[in-house]
Amino acid sequence: MGLLNNTLPDNKLVGAVDTAVGWGRKSSVWPMTFGIACCAIEMMAVFAATFDLDRFGAGIPRATPRQSDLIIVPGTVNAKMAVRVRRLYDQMAEPRYVIAMGACVCGGGPYVKWGYNTVKGVHKIIPVDIFVPGCPPRPEALMDGILKLREKIGREAVFARRNEANTQMNAKYDAVS
């Protein structure tokens, strides 16, 4: 997609294709089976019967980074793990999204002061789309994060050149989420 990304003029036809592709992307966000710590259990709860993330089409956890669209980083990333998280992110195919789940991943959490080897937020390592705070976040919070991500994906321009307003809106949205 690299060549076409944001190169075409912003007209009705390109807009329609953008909408369709955006719909496809946002309706099938396959997360990666990737658990680090406590938050992974709540992430599993989101996939399980009570919360059932599959309702939004995001319920096929893929074990390999190549086939997944979303990496939920659930749990403290330390120095030893950060290298691996980075590599996993690099192995994912575009478009790829990152949800930082939990206080540790958002900014160090309880380990921010005395943690000599914890990374104070996974956004130091890989770019993050959505931050879901909490220790651990309730499953509802993670679901909300994924719904927010769906909104964000749906608004992405795949082919059309982003005009000024679009860029600003996205920037604003990024700042909020």
Partner 1 sequence: METLIDFFTGTLGLGPTLALSLAYATAIGSLLGFITVYAMFAIWMERKVAAHIQQRFGPMEVGGWHGWAQSPADALKLMFKEDIIPSGANKVLFWIAPAIVFCGVLAGFIAIPFAAGVQIVDIDLGVFFIIAIASIEVIGVIMAGWSSNSKYSLFGAVREAAQVVSYELPSATALLAPILVVGSFKLGDFNTYQAEHGWIIFSNPFMWIALLVYFIASLAGCKRAPFDLPEAESELVSGFHTEYSGMRFSFFGLEEFVSMLLVSAITCTLFLGGYTLPFNFLDVANLAAPFHLLGVAVLIVKIFAVIFVQMWLRWTLPRMRVDQVMTMGYKYLLPWALFAVAGTAVWHVWMEG
Partner 2 sequence: MEALEMYTVDDRSDVYTEELKLNLGPQHPSTHGVLRVELSMDGEIITASRCDIGYLHRCAEKIGENVTYLQYTPYTDRMDYLASMNNNLAWSLTVEKLLGVEAPERAQWLRMICAELNRIASHLIAFGTYGIDIGANTPFFYAFRERESIMALLERPSGARMLYNYIQPGGLRRDVDENWVTDVLAFCDDFEKRWAEYNTLLSNNRIFIGRTANIGVIPQDVVYACGATGPVMRGSGIKWDLRRDVPYLKPYEEVDFDVPVGEGTHGTLGDCWDRYWVRMREMMESIRIIRQGCAALPGGEVMEKVMKKMYKTPLTPEAGEAYMRCENPRGELGFYVVAEGGTSPIRCRARAPSFCNLSLLDSLLPGTMIADAVAIIGSLDIVLGEVDR
Partner 3 sequence: MNEQQLHDKLRATGLGGIGELESSARDPFVVVEASVLLEVMAFLRDDSETAMEMLHNVTAVQRETGFDVVYHLCSYSRHHSLTLKVIVAQPEGEAGDWEPAVPSVASVYPSANWHEREQWDLLGVRFNDHPDFRRIILPEEWIGHPLRKDYVYPSTFGEIPLELDAIPLYERDENDPPKPSEPRPAGTPLTQPPSEYSTRPDAGGRAPAPEKKGES
Q: Which does 145 bind (CB under 5 to 8 A by kind): partner 2, partner 1, partner 3, none?
A: none
Q: Which does 75 bind (CB under 5 to 8 A by kind): partner 3, partner 2, partner 1, none?
A: partner 2
CB 77 within 8 A of CB 85: yes
Q: CA-CA distance, 51 to 146, in Å (whole number)?
A: 13
Q: CA-CA distance, 107 to 25, in Å (whole number)?
A: 28
- The amino acid sitting at 140 is E
* Residue corresponding to tokens 């719904």: 147
Dihedral sign from CA coordinates of 139, 110, 75, 151: positive
Q: Is 34 in the site for partner 2 (CB under 8 A)?
A: yes
Residues lying near partner 3 in the complex (CB under 8 A) are found at 79-80, 82-83, 86, 107-108, 112-114, 116-121, 123-127
Q: CA-CA distance, 152 to 56, in Å (whole number)?
A: 15
Toward partner 1, which CB reaches closer, 66 or 172?
66
The SS3 assignment for 78 reads strand
Q: Which stretch binds partner 1 (CB under 8 A): 34-42, 59-67, 75-83, 114-122?
A: 59-67
Q: What is the DSSP letter of 49?
A: T
Size of site (CB under 8 A) for partner 1: 30
Least gap, CB of 48 to partner 1 (angstroms): 8
Name the site residues for partner 2 (rule: CB under 8 A).
Answer: 32-38, 40-42, 44-45, 48-50, 63, 65, 75-76, 78, 80-81, 84, 88, 104, 110-111, 113-118, 135-136, 138
